[in-house]
């Protein structure tokens, strides 16, 4: 055994992770893995809480996608209480979901991962970030900051609280939208839509072509995919059924409460984060790069792969172009970033569509609920993937059991495989530098992992640390984010 590299912590992603890479005597990669090093215990401390408080507790699993947890929890509450929200209640939830997606995708593309493309993967670290982007391109920097912030402002007007929201309640939405507010938010949504169009064409013209060889090779693996679609196969991030697609493109659709028949979570001794896999494929779990078993991916690329079509025109046109170029299912990992911009466009279009819906300002946004003993499963598509909340209550509506599977967790095995693929192809004969190690991190960043979400059950830290050990196991060098 040669030496072990530990990259810690991985930076420009949410939470903490560490990557360990084992090299043989010749300096070639034997194994590489991403370890998550935290555990928070939400499933445990949910027990005993009033179920209607869960939409206000589970938000703190993630401050970047709090709306996803908030809405999945509210939908689980609907199921537990056995109610259907009035149309305006559902539409306001869906509106907030789409606005939150625009904010989140702008954040990831421009503030986190985008610097690798805008500034280049080998740029010096003090400028390989959003501040560097803003200094080199002040006009774009200003636009980026403004449009991400518009998302926050819109959510503030619609719901009162942007991060860790409170307005999605069992049975609907607690705050109706006033006409004056609708007009204000619509103007902002239209501006974000313009920005989404700009981002798509800017990236297609200036960023992706430059790195197409990297896109087609870095962290590429062959897997299945999972995401949410409507009954007719249309892309949807708020509600629908779950579609699980095999690497060959064949797929099965199932209702939320059937998830235990399709997904199982494996535990490995070196990571607090679990490893979900497609149990219904009957082939078990294996992260072998050449012959993976049971491995599927979630998040942007997965959703675009599983859906038959988009519900909005501009995003549909982009999907068609994307499929023509990369096929279905597209497997290249860095295409997650491309898919993210198509989703940004869709959610901006969708927000404008909902704000033009006359029903959105209805005063009927909520129905009252009565506690009972029941079990409910509620799902949404979080930016990072299918989010599953599963609560059981006693007759007073207090939680007796809670199970959560979150977006990033689904991608734990694929991220590990991409890290291994990237490390194996980039580090050869003991040659590596900061740029190469950053490229390994880029393979992780493509998944936009939210390690706080993923360690909801433990405590939120994925550190990527890189340790180099000599043949006796002594650490001779190390780096961390």
Q: Which residues within the stretch 222-281 sit at the binding site for another protein (CB under 8 A)?
A: 259-260, 263-272, 274, 276
Instruction: Give the whole-angstrom CA distance, residue 166 versus residue 54.
Output: 10
Task: Determine which helix (DSSP H) or strand (DSSP E) holds 389, and give its type and residue range.
Answer: strand 385-393
Q: Which residues pair with 431 in a beta bridge?
A: 428
Burial class from Cβ neighbours inside 10 Å (0-12, 13-18, 19+) for residue 354 reads buried
Q: Is 60 in the site for another protein (CB under 8 A)?
A: yes
Q: Is 372 in the site for another protein (CB under 8 A)?
A: no
Residue 466: asked if its preceding bond is cis (omega within 30°), the reply is no
- Residue 310 CB, shortest distance to another protein, in Å, is 27
Phi, psi angles (nearest 5°) of residue 452: -70, -45
- Residue 20 CB, shortest distance to another protein, in Å, is 7
Residue 428 vs 478, nearer CB to another protein: 478
Q: Is 373 in the site for another protein (CB under 8 A)?
A: no
Among 27, 141, 233, 430, binds another protein (CB under 8 A): 141
- Residue 13 CB, shortest distance to another protein, in Å, is 8
Among 166, 314, 352, 374, binds another protein (CB under 8 A): 166
Q: Is 148 in the site for another protein (CB under 8 A)?
A: yes
Phi, psi angles (nearest 5°) of residue 273: -80, 140
- Residue 456 CB, shortest distance to another protein, in Å, is 9
Single out the segment in contact with another protein by CB under 8 A; choices: 171-179, 219-227, 236-244, 331-339.
171-179
Q: Is 429 in the site for another protein (CB under 8 A)?
A: no
Q: Is 370 in the site for another protein (CB under 8 A)?
A: yes
Distance of CA 103 to CAs 1, 23, 51, 415, Å?
46, 40, 28, 24
- Give the total of residues touching another protein (CB under 8 A): 115
Own/partner contacts of 239-244, CB < 8 Å, gap of 24 or more, are: 239/75, 239/90, 239/94, 239/380, 242/379, 242/386, 243/306, 243/307, 244/278, 244/280, 244/296, 244/306
Among 149, 197, 246, 309, binds another protein (CB under 8 A): 149
Q: Is 428 in the site for another protein (CB under 8 A)?
A: no
Burial class from Cβ neighbours inside 10 Å (0-12, 13-18, 19+) for residue 399 reads buried
Residue 179 vs 231, nearer CB to another protein: 179
**Residues from 62 through 91 that contact another protein (CB under 8 A):** 62-64, 66
Judge contact between 453 and 384, C-beta under 8 A.
Answer: yes
Single out the segment in contact with another protein by CB under 8 A; choices: 43-51, 191-199, 215-223, 230-238.
43-51
Instruction: Give the whole-angstrom CA distance, residue 121 versus residue 436.
Output: 8
Q: Could you tell me which of 143, 138, 178 has the C-alpha nearest to residue 158?
A: 178
Site string for another protein, 438-467 (x = CB under 8 A): x--x--------x-x----xxxxx-x-xxx
Q: Is 374 in the site for another protein (CB under 8 A)?
A: no
Q: Is 361 in the site for another protein (CB under 8 A)?
A: no
Among 2, 31, 111, 425, binds another protein (CB under 8 A): 111
Instruction: Give the whole-angstrom CA distance, residue 264 versus residue 473.
Output: 35
Instruction: Give the whole-angstrom CA distance, residue 32 versus residue 398.
Output: 43
Q: Is 11 in the site for another protein (CB under 8 A)?
A: yes
Instruction: Give the whole-angstrom CA distance, residue 270 versus residue 274.
Output: 10
- Residue 317 CB, shortest distance to another protein, in Å, is 31
Residue 338 vs 391, nearer CB to another protein: 391
Residue 175 vs 323, nearer CB to another protein: 175
Judge contact between 242 and 228, C-beta under 8 A.
Answer: yes
Q: Is 216 in the site for another protein (CB under 8 A)?
A: no
Single out the segment in contact with another protein by CB under 8 A; choices: 30-38, 231-239, 301-309, 422-430.
30-38
- Residue 190 CB, shortest distance to another protein, in Å, is 18
Q: Is 282 in the site for another protein (CB under 8 A)?
A: no
Instruction: Give the whole-angstrom CA distance, residue 338 versus residue 49.
Output: 41
Instruction: Give the whole-angstrom CA distance, residue 265 versus residue 267.
Output: 7
Q: Is 209 in the site for another protein (CB under 8 A)?
A: no
Residue 331 vs 403, nearer CB to another protein: 403
Q: Is 362 in the site for another protein (CB under 8 A)?
A: no
Q: Measured between alpha carbons, how far apart are the two ends of the chain, in Å? A: 25
Q: Is 186 in the site for another protein (CB under 8 A)?
A: no
What contacts 23, CB < 8 A, 6 or more positions away? 2, 3, 4, 5, 29, 30, 427, 430
Q: Is 47 in the site for another protein (CB under 8 A)?
A: yes
């Amino acid at each position: 055994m040669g030496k072990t590299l530990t990259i810690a912590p991985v930076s420009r992603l949410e939470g903490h992770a560490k990557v360990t890479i084992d090299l043989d005597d010749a300096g070639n990669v034997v194994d590489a893995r991403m370890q998550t090093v935290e555990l928070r215990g939400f499933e445990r401390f949910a027990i005993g809480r009033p179920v209607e408080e869960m939409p206000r507790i589970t938000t703190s699993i993630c401050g970047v996608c709090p709306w996803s947890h908030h809405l999945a929890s509210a939908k689980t509450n609907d199921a537990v209480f056995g109610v259907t929200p009035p149309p305006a209640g559902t539409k306001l939830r869906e509106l907030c979901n789409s606005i939150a997606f625009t904010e989140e995708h702008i954040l990831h593309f421009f503030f986190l991962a985008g610097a690798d493309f805008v500034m280049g993967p080998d740029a010096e670290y003090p400028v390989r970030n959003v501040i560097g982007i803003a200094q080199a391109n002040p006009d774009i920097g200003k636009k980026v900051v403004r449009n991400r912030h518009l998302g926050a402002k819109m959510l503030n007007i619609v719901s009162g609280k942007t991060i860790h929201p409170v307005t999605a309640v069992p049975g609907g939405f607690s705050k109706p939208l006033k006409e004056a507010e609708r007009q204000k938010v619509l103007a902002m949504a239209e501006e974000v839509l313009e920005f989404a169009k700009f981002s798509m064409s800017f990236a297609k013209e200036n960023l992706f072509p430059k790195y197409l060889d990297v896109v087609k090779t870095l962290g590429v693996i062959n897997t299945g995919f999972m995401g949410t679609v409507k009954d007719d196969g249309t892309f949807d991030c708020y509600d629908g059924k779950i579609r699980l697609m095999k690497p060959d493109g064949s797929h099965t659709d199932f209702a939320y409460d059937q998830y235990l028949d399709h997904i199982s979570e494996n535990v490995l001794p070196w990571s607090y984060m679990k490893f979900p896999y497609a149990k219904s494929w009957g082939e078990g779990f294996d992260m072998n790069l050449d012959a993976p078993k049971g491995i599927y991916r979630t998040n942007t690329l997965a959703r675009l792969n599983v859906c038959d079509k988009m519900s909005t025109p501009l995003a549909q046109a982009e999907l068609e172009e994307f499929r023509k170029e990369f096929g279905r299912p597209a497997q290249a990992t860095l295409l997650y970033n491309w898919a993210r911009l198509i989703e940004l466009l869709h959610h901006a279009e969708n927000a404008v569509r909902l704000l033009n819906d006359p029903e959105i300002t209805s005063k009927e946004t909520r129905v009252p609920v009565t506690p009972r003993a029941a079990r409910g499963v509620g799902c949404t598509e979080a930016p990072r993937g299918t989010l599953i909340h599963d609560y059981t209550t006693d007759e007073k509506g207090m939680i007796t059991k809670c199970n959560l599977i979150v977006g990033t967790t689904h991608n734990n095995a694929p991220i590990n495989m991409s890290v291994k693929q990237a490390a194996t192809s980039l580090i050869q004969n003991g040659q590596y530098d900061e740029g190469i190690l950053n490229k390994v991190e880029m393979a992780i960043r493509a998944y936009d992992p939210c390690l706080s979400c993923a360690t909801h059950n433990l405590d939120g830290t994925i550190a990527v640390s890189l340790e180099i050990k000599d043949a006796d196991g002594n650490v001779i060098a190390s780096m961390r984010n």
